[in-house]
Amino acid sequence: MEASWGSVNAERGWYVSAQQPEEAEAEELSPLLSNELHRQRSPGVSFGLSVFNLMNAIMGSGILGLAFIMANTGILGFSFLLLTVALLASYSVHLLLSMCIQTAVTSYEDLGLFAFGLPGKVVVAGTIIIQNIGAMSSYLLIIKTEFPAAIAEFLTGDYSRYWYLDGQTLLIIICVGIVFPLALLPKIGFLGYTSSLSFFFMMFFALVSAYALPTMAFSFLCHTSILPIYCELQSPSKKRMQNVTNTAVALSFLIYFISALFGYLTFYDKVESELLKGYSKYLPHDVVVMTVKLCMLFAVLLTVPLIHFPARKAVMMMFFSNFPFSWIRHFLITLALNIIIVLLAIYVPDIRNVFGVVGASTSTCLIFIFPGLFYLKLSREDFLSWKKFGAFVLLIFGILVGNFSLALIIFDWINK
C-alpha cells in the first residue's frame, strides 16, 4: 500500500492533510493527532516523569563498558564519540516527532506503515520485538549471574546452598514479584516513579565511581519509547517533547561521561570490560563497592518493565491492530513476553553473544536507519534542504555503523 500526502491511510482510517513541511513544523498539533493523543492520555504525565522514563530507556539500552571504551579510545576520542551519538540520537528523535506531526500517527510501527505499507509496519514491529526481547533477556542474565554474588559479598561463611544465592530462583522471584506487575501497568507514564528511582541509582554510580562503576549502556537508543511517552505527555507538542528528549539525552550524557571518566582514572590500562568485576577482584567485601553493585542491579531491573511496553505494543500492532483493547489480551501478551525472556536468560548461556549481533543490527536500524529512511520517503521537502540532507546523513551513518559493528563482532568470534 503506497501512502502519500493528502491520502487516506486505509488501515488506520486517518486522513492526512497535504500540508507543506513548514506548516508541519508548527508547534500546534494537528486536530487529528491532538484527538488521538487526548484519547490515549488521561490526565497526562508531567515533564519531569517523562524525562525520567526516557532516561531510563536511554540508559537501559545495550551492555557496554564505558570506561573500557575510554581506555581504548582516549578521553578526547571517547568524548567526541559519545557527543556524536548523543547529538545524532537527539536529531533522529526530532525527525520522528516531525513525521508524527505530519502524518498524524502515534507509533513507530505506523510510521513504517505510512512510509512503505504493510511490509514497513511488519519490519519495524519485528525489529522492535527482537531488539527488546534481546535487551530484556540480557538484563535478566545480569540479574541471574550478578545478584547472588552481590548478596554473597554481604555474608560470611558458606551459604552456597541457600535459595537466595541461587540465580535462577532469584530471577523467577524477581520477575514474578517486580517485573511482571510493573509491566502489566496500562500506561508507560506510571513507570515514571520507578524510572526516577533508577535515575538516582545511576547518579549514585557516577558520584562514587572512584570506588565502583556500573556496566552501563554505550547507547542512546530510546526511540521505541519516544512516541508512547509523547502520547501520555501533559500538553503534548513537538517542542515540549523535544525538550523532554534534549533534557534526557543531556543528563544521560553527563552520567555516562562522569562514570566512564572516574572508572578509567581508577584503573587506566587495566580497565575491564565490566568494571564491577574489577572492583570485586581488588576490593572484595568493600561496603561502597557492594552497595553500588546492588544499586546497579536494581537500576537494570527497573529498566526491564519499561522495555516491555514497546515490545508488547509491537506485538499488538502486528497481530491485533484491528481489535479493541482487552485486559485479557494485555495480560496474556505480557505474560508470554515475560516467560520468553526468563527462559532465554536461564537456558541460553551465551545470550549476550547471540544478541550482540541482533543488537548491533536492530539498534542501528531503530536509532539511525529507520528515522532517516522514513523521513526521506515521507517528506516533500527538496532533497537539498537541511533536514532532508540530515536524514540522508543519518541513514548512511547508520548503515556504516551497523555493518562495522557486525564485522567487529564476527571478527571477535573468529579470534576466540
Q: HEC string of 236-281? A: CCHHHHHHHHHHHHHHHHHHHHHHHHHHHHHHHHHCCCCHHHHHHH
The correct answer on CATH 1.20.1740.10 for the domain covering 29-353 is yes
Q: In the chain, what percentage of residues exceed pLDDT 90?
A: 12
Q: Which is higher by pLDDT, 233 or 396?
A: 396
For residue range 324-350, list pLDDT tens digits in order.
889 999 999 999 999 999 998 888 766
**Encoded amino acid at 219, one letter:** S
Q: Is the pLDDT of residue 33 over 60?
A: no
CA-to-CA distance for 267 and 256, rounded, in angstroms? 17
Cβ 168 vs Cβ 346: under 8 Å: yes
pLDDT tens-digit series, residues 233-254: 777 777 888 888 888 888 888 8
Domains of the chain, residue spans: 29-353
For 63-112, what is each residue's pLDDT tens digit?
446 777 777 778 887 888 788 888 888 888 888 888 888 888 878 888 89
Cα–Cα–Cα angle for 347, 353, 358, nearest 5°?
100
Residue-wise pLDDT tens digits, 185-231: 887 777 777 777 776 776 666 555 463 333 333 456 666 777 777 77
Q: How far is it, in rounded angstroms, from Cα 168 to Cα 348?
A: 12
Q: What is the pLDDT of residues 287-310, one digit of tens each?
A: 777 777 787 788 778 888 888 888
Residue 394: pLDDT over 60? yes
Q: What is the pTM of this model?
A: 0.74
Structure confidence at residue 274 as a pLDDT band (50, 70, 90): low
216: left (phi over 0), alpha (psi -120 to 50) or beta: beta
pLDDT number for residue 307: 85
The mean predicted confidence, pLDDT, of the chain is: 75
45 strand-pairing partners: 233
CA nearest to 219, candidates 387, 52, 402: 402
**Cα 84 from Cα 90, distance rounded (Å):** 10
Q: With bands split at pLDDT 50, 70 and 90, how would you rate the model's confidence at 354?
A: low
Helix axes 238-267, 192-207, angle to 10 degrees: 30
- What percentage of the chain carries pLDDT values higher than 70? 75
Asked if residue 214 lies in contact with residue 205, where contact means CB atoms within 8 angstroms, the answer is yes
